[in-house]
A and B are shown apart, each in its own frame.
Chain A
Amino acid sequence: MLLAGGQGSRLKALTSKVAKPAVPFGGKYRIIDFPLSNCVNSGIDTVGVLTQYKPLELNAYIGSGQAWDLDRSDGGVHILPPYVQEDEKGSWYKGTANAIYQNLSFLEQYDPEYVLILSGDHIYKMDYSKMLRHHKETNAACTISVMEVPLEEASRFGIMNVDANDMIYEFEEKPKKPKSNLASMGIYIFTWSKLRKYLMEDEADPSSSNDFGKNIIPTMLADHEIMAAYRFQGYWKDVGTIDSLWDANMDMLDPTAGINPYDTEWPIYAQAALRPPLFTGPAAAIKHSIVTSGSEVSGTVEDSVLFHSVVVEEGAQVRYSILMPGAVVKAGAVVEYSIVAERTVIGAGAHVGADKSDDPEWGIAVVAQDLKVGDGASVPAGAIVTRNIKGVKA
């Protein structure tokens, strides 16, 4: 069960029209491709995707699930929006646990032994079948995937305190004085009968906020259910903020970062765009970047991530930036430390973002989709642009 209903408000302009899991990532992908591909590569063939906020583009993207080989006659991918229940008023998903509760009938239809709960806003590669094996071996009611984080950063995470056998005895959400450095990754495996029982009880409790981290996990711990921690080692990043999204994209350029998209053993699948190959013009200079089909690069591109159908005209410079599908950088424009969303045009000679500096105002500049930054205009570092910007006459 993939929780894909998050609004992603911290991604600001990038999620004004799409749900967070549908935000483009890493040249070829959208964020949701990572958990979906992990499912397929782990041998999971039945996936429910719980959507609610701005679902149009996400639903269209997932479609029949063909891109992930999830167009199955038995199982496959199912989009699960909130709906009006019998004899009741319908409601939006109130929390992560409520989202699953509202789809109990979907789960009952498949009557699984185990249920895997995922979130749609993390970039990582993980074999869930190994985690399931761990869950079975420990005979747990719930297994939570954890990873070690630096102790000084532990207070930003949900921290699991475990015994010598990695069994969880305590859960602390963002503790001021963390006792361990094992952070929850928001990936849970439940034994279905237990999950069902706790979801029903949680729903009956009017004071609950119907959230896995705040309610279900603490209640199960209080009931002394067997709760196992499953240690994950490898690349994992929450891309919920502009900075972390930019960082994770830049990690795609680093062969040592641990998120290798060229690994044929664990491919990440995506709905493909039908475009001819990338054309690099006679004056193109591309260094340390990833570039995607349908693009035409005639200028300079360094340390950047270019999605499909991007145009970088001659004399334009793109550095440390992310250009989403269809973005155009006109001749002589400079784009640095920026994210330019789909189909936005940066006019000739315009300047977006600024080189990294110690200025507290400095940050990644973001230009939302379908906008035009006029010729010669300037967008300062850290700006979030949601309207067209007029050109400046030379």
Chain B
Amino acid sequence: MQTNRQLILRRALKEIKDGMYVNLGIGMPTLIADLIPASIQVMLQSENGLLGIGPYPKAEEVDPDLINAGKETVTIKPGGCYFDSAESFSMIRGGHIDLAILGGMEVSGSGDLANWMIPGKMVKGMGGAMDLVQGAKRVIVIMDHVNKYGESKVKQKCSLPLTGSQVVHSLITDLAVFQFADGKMKLVELQEGASLEEVRSKTEADYLIDDTLLLNR
């Protein structure tokens, strides 16, 4: 039996294809890096100015001048490079990054994402998330389907301040995979162990269901 997190990460991994330039967000998305098999060659971008993130360093390799966007010490892969923050966001805003995988607090049925602020609590800031959702060729959000109180995080309309409006291409949760097109959300896959009924009861947003899921019932 896989944990919710493993279900999400392993499904997200399938979206990473050979030859891609990918930005993995801080937190859960960063964990995907460790799962990428050697047979898939990708360049991971870190928005603080690094293309070609390598694994965490050995103790004797730790360099305070070499960190990722989560401020963790990292290494650089052979063929990687460094650049300044303006050039980094030229890559992102200019549409040169194939895929961004980000965490989410809420996603709406029209593909809005909220993941940077909870009013009344501490405002941490959006960092590079608003640039990534506008600039990456494809934006995938990974998150738990419900919050710790069992409430749906897949909302009819986001209640939290938005990171971007109609910016999500795919949503991967511990229960299901959704795709977004023309402001509509479609259920395209069920995660292992999930049923259409469970997804329906835990999803606040309206959504379409892909024919293949209905036929295979």
Say whether A and B bind each other: no
* B contact set with A: CB distance below 8 Å: none
* A contact set with B: CB distance below 8 Å: none
